[in-house]
Structure 1
């Protein structure tokens, strides 16, 4: 085995083609977060992003996208944003993960959303968590009948949609906005999402310039089947809800859904997801991945779960031990909260209370 470390922009067209071919062969890799285009886009804003190209004799058998943080600490591409992480590799290829980490100049590589089927990394998983999905393989109707039978809120959505139309105008849904108004609509959705983060006491991701810049760049990206996907729900001429995510290989991860706070009584988030599922199924999408994390709407809409894992590949060097000491307590606390509904409810209430008392213009603990 040989491991060559390159910057994403240095990948040749042949290497990108090989990456996509390997990705297409394994269903668990059919996520835009593991597409080469995502890694290359992130690298424009996160210059420490790298790719380990894995060779066996004269053949490329894998790609290892990562970020090279200080002290040799390896992170996933777009840390804190990517809901699917791992290697893109030939199914029958295997190699030593610690040797890969060493060859890439890292002391440790940490992951928190490792997809299934990563046999090279099986020994390094420390925990797993469900990631709810909407399976549209058989079309919209079978999924809708399933969730409608299970959830009274889903059964009530037609009534709420009719009320919304009476009071604000006919509903109109756009699966992929790409006209001259798309950038402005995206800004509105991001403002709603920022307000939601602050209202619920969460860290506002869009206060970080690199995240906002990346999202706007992805909106305009059209590389084959990989693209940014801005979905919008209107009532009359009024934008009610929107979602920005990615799309590739027939998979759409839900990334940044948001709605107008003034429309809350109509359940606009559920109406948005319902419209997304219907239009996406008609457009050839097989799976909507709602991502890890406990949310009531995910339980109501999911048709099942995939599993993502946390863990780390660490070399026996001091820098790896230092990285573990800095991150392990936070990860352990978060896992405990995620696994215990009672703890999750308490944490959610505390965060929301903090959001209510946060001074105006105060973001992420820093005055804006």
Structure 2
């Protein structure tokens, strides 16, 4: 088994062909994050993008795109934009991580959206999570039936009621699954920036980063059968009240950046646009919508399944990752302890 390292600009047609072949037949790799187009776009936006190749007898056995942020540290391709991480490889492949890190020319690789089925990564994980999904196999009506049996039988009736109320008060509803309207896209980005400012502060607004904006713009313009950006919009009359920007592969729509105008919050436009996306995604032949990691209420209400993820790190020497795991567990213990609760109350009092 031979490991080598290339830049994304060195991905030639044969490597891309074999990469696509590695994805075939593995449901997990249906995510657009594992499509080579996502890596290529990340490489166009960031000069630190690299691809680890694993070959055996002149056959490509696996690829692992990442960012070499420093001589010490590497992160998944797309950085914090990546909701699915790790290598694209044959199921039989289990790599010796010291060899991998040596080829990557780094000592530490942290991950937080790694599929748990990667046993050689899960062994180094200290947290588990999940990414909720909508199973659209069989079409929208079949999905609604699954949802009614597993979750809330009245959810879609509530959504339909809100659609009628919105239309009656603000004008006829108009939904577009794949819009090319630049003004609507810019309105979504502005709305998401304002949301970041309200919730975590302007300093943490990812849409202020040039490489993020470049990646999202390239994804927005991508429109191939196996990879495309998806801007979905919901208007009431002539007014944009909700939008979503994500990307799709051959089978999966990754639900990425939803937004709605809080003026219309009482009618739950965020739920309305997700329901519309589910209906139209099924018509496009997509078999799943992936809502990403997190247990937000809307995800729990719409999901019919979930993909298991984990968070952790690999390092050389291994002590680095072990120490990081210990620090994490110590923080969690303190947070849940009575002392931690007292410290939080004290901070809230001072605020």
Pair in the same fold by TM > 0.5: yes
List alignment gaps of at least 5 residues for structure 2: none
How far does residue 79 in structure 1 lie from its aligned partner after superposition?
1.4
**Counterpart for residue 184 of structure 1:** 183
Question: Which one of the candidate residues 163, 168, 171 is aligned to 1:169?
Answer: 171
How far does residue 84 in structure 1 lie from its aligned partner after superposition?
0.4
Cα distance in 1 between the residues matched to 2:253 and 2:84: 12
SS of equivalent to 2:45: coil
How far does residue 55 in structure 1 lie from its aligned partner after superposition?
0.5
CA RMSD of aligned residues (A): 2.8
Deviates most, 238-247 or 110-119: 110-119
How far does residue 334 in structure 1 lie from its aligned partner after superposition?
7.8
Instruction: Please say if residues 251 and 285 of structure 1, whose CA atoms lie closer than 8 Å, have aligned partners that are also in contact.
Output: yes
Deviates most, 161-170 or 202-211: 202-211
Cα distance in 1 between the residues matched to 2:230 and 2:8: 22
SS of equivalent to 1:84: coil
- Cα separation, partners in 2 of 1:327 and 1:254, compared to 1, 3 Å: farther
Offset from partner CA, 1:320-349 (integer Å, 9 cap, x none): 73x876897569758998x9xxx9xxx9xx
**Counterpart for residue 143 of structure 2:** 143
How far does residue 120 in structure 1 lie from its aligned partner after superposition?
4.1
Instruction: Please say if residues 244 and 257 of structure 2, whose CA atoms lie closer than 8 Å, have aligned partners that are also in contact.
Output: yes
**Counterpart for residue 298 of structure 2:** 297
How far does residue 123 in structure 1 lie from its aligned partner after superposition?
2.6
Offset from partner CA, 1:158-180 (integer Å, 9 cap, x none): 111101111222212111113xx
Within the alignment, does 1:43 sit opposite 2:21 as a pair?
no
**Counterpart for residue 2 of structure 2:** 2
How far does residue 117 in structure 1 lie from its aligned partner after superposition?
3.1
**Counterpart for residue 193 of structure 1:** 192
Offset from partner CA, 1:227-275 (integer Å, 9 cap, x none): 1111111122221111111100311111100011212121000000000
Instruction: Please say if residues 126 and 325 of structure 2, whose CA atoms lie closer than 8 Å, have aligned partners that are also in contact.
Output: no
Runs of 4+ in 1 over 4 A off after TM superposition: 323-337
**Counterpart for residue 210 of structure 2:** 209
Cα distance in 2 between the residues matched to 1:75 and 1:282: 36
How far does residue 44 in structure 1 lie from its aligned partner after superposition?
1.6
Offset from partner CA, 1:278-317 (integer Å, 9 cap, x none): 0001111111111111211111111121111112121117
- Cα separation, partners in 2 of 1:86 and 1:334, compared to 1, 3 Å: farther
Instruction: Please say if residues 87 and 118 of structure 1, whose CA atoms lie closer than 8 Å, have aligned partners that are also in contact.
Output: no
Instruction: Please say if residues 3 and 104 of structure 1, whose CA atoms lie closer than 8 Å, have aligned partners that are also in contact.
Output: no
Cα distance in 2 between the residues matched to 1:70 and 1:335: 31
- Cα separation, partners in 2 of 1:257 and 1:22, compared to 1, 3 Å: same
List alignment gaps of at least 5 residues for structure 1: 352-356, 358-368
Instruction: Please say if residues 154 and 270 of structure 1, whose CA atoms lie closer than 8 Å, have aligned partners that are also in contact.
Output: no
- Write the mapping of 1:265-344 to structure 2, written as runs, cut at 5 A: 265-316=266-317, 321=320, 329=327
**Counterpart for residue 76 of structure 2:** 76
* TM-score scaled by length of structure 1: 0.84
